[in-house]
C-alpha cells in the first residue's frame, strides 16, 4: 500500500510540475487512473491463476522526475513501479491480456471522463466551470497518456508484452491511442 501511495503522489507531482495550481485535480485524476490501471493488471492476473503485487521502482521514480523536470512536464517516464506477476506458467496470450488490461482500463476511464463532459456540460459559475473543465480535461488526458505510455513496446513496459502476444492487437490499440493523444490533445 505504501508503494502505491508513494507512486501516486510522485506521479501527480511529476504531471503537475509546470502547473502546481492544479495539483489537487491532477492528484485525483491520475491517482484514480494509476490505481485502476494497476488493479486491472492484478485482477486479470488473478483470473489466470497468477499472484500479482505492486512494487515501486526507485529508478523509475527518479527517471520520471528527471524527464518531467527536463521537459517542463510535457513528457515524463510514467513508470514509478509495476505489478509483478508470479505464476508457474502463463501463455503469451494470457501475459499479453494481463499487460493490455491496465491500458484498456485507462482508455475506459478516459471515455468516462469524456462522457461526464458531455453529460454535465457547463453553465455554473466561472470558477465551477473552470474546475469542472480542468477535472474532465486532466482526467481524460492523464488516462489517455497512461494508456499510450504503457503501450510503448520497450521492456519493461506493458506494450512489449502485448506486442509479443499479438502485433495486430497492439497496433490497432496503439493507433487509436496515438490519434487520441496527439490528434485531440
Q: Give 96-152 pLDDT, tens digit per residue.
A: 999 999 999 999 999 998 888 777 665 556 666 777 788 888 889 889 999 999 999
The number of CA neighbours under 13 Å toward the Cβ of 114 is: 14
Q: 55: part of which helix (H) or strand (E)?
A: strand 51-56
Among residues 21, 38, 59, 94, which one is catalytic? Answer: 38
Q: Give 58-71 pLDDT, tens digit per residue.
A: 998 999 999 999 98
Clarify whether 38 is annotated catalytic.
Answer: yes
d(CA 97, CA 38): 13
pLDDT more than 70, % of the chain: 94
**What pTM was computed for the model?**
0.84
175 contacts 148 by C-beta, under 8 angstroms = no
d(CA 122, CA 177): 27
Amino acid at each position: 500500500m505504501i508503494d502505491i501511495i508513494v507512486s501516486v503522489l510522485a506521479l501527480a507531482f511529476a504531471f503537475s510540475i509546470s502547473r502546481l495550481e492544479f495539483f489537487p485535480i491532477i492528484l485525483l485524476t491520475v491517482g484514480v487512473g494509476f490505481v485502476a490501471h494497476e488493479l486491472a493488471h492484478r485482477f486479470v492476473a488473478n483470473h489466470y491463476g497468477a499472484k500479482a503485487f505492486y512494487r515501486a521502482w526507485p529508478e523509475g521514480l527518479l527517471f520520471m522526475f528527471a524527464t518531467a523536470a527536463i521537459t517542463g512536464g510535457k513528457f515524463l517516464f510514467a513508470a514509478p513501479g509495476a505489478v509483478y506477476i508470479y505464476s508457474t506458467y502463463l501463455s503469451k496470450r494470457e501475459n499479453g491480456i494481463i499487460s493490455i488490461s491496465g491500458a484498456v482500463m485507462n482508455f475506459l476511464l478516459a471515455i468516462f471522463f469524456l462522457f461526464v463532459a458531455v453529460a454535465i456540460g457547463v453553465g455554473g459559475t466561472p470558477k465551477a466551470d473552470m474546475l469542472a473543465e480542468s477535472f474532465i480535461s486532466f482526467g481524460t488526458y492523464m488516462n489517455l497518456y497512461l494508456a499510450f505510455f504503457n503501450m510503448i513496446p520497450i521492456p519493461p513496459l506493458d506494450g512489449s508484452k502485448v506486442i509479443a502476444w499479438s502485433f495486430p492487437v497492439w497496433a490497432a490499440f496503439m493507433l487509436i491511442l496515438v490519434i487520441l493523444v496527439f490528434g485531440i490533445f
